[in-house]
Amino acid sequence: MHPEIEFELMKNHASELRRAAAEHRRVREAQRGNKSERRSVFGKRRSA
């Protein structure tokens, strides 16, 4: 494979991982709140 293409794939993968980590952090913070807050967070994500 071309090095440029490999580099672009790696960059895209890294940004996906960062996005997933940020979402995971939001979920963990919501779980630290009370249960009704957590439900509302997941409800919003499902409807979005």
Q: State pLDDT tens for residues 5-25.
A: 999 999 999 999 999 999 999
Q: Is residue 23 a contact partner of residue 30, using CB atoms and an 8 Å limit?
A: no
Percentage of the chain lying above the pLDDT 70 cut: 67
Q: Is residue 37 a contact partner of residue 30, using CB atoms and an 8 Å limit?
A: yes
Look up the pTM and report it: 0.54
Measured CA to CA in angstroms, residue 32 lies from 15, 19, 41, 44, 46 at distances of 26, 20, 12, 17, 20
pLDDT, mean of residues 25-42:
70
Rounded to 5°, angle at Cα 12 from 10 and 16: 115
C-alpha 7/C-alpha 48 separation (Å) is 32
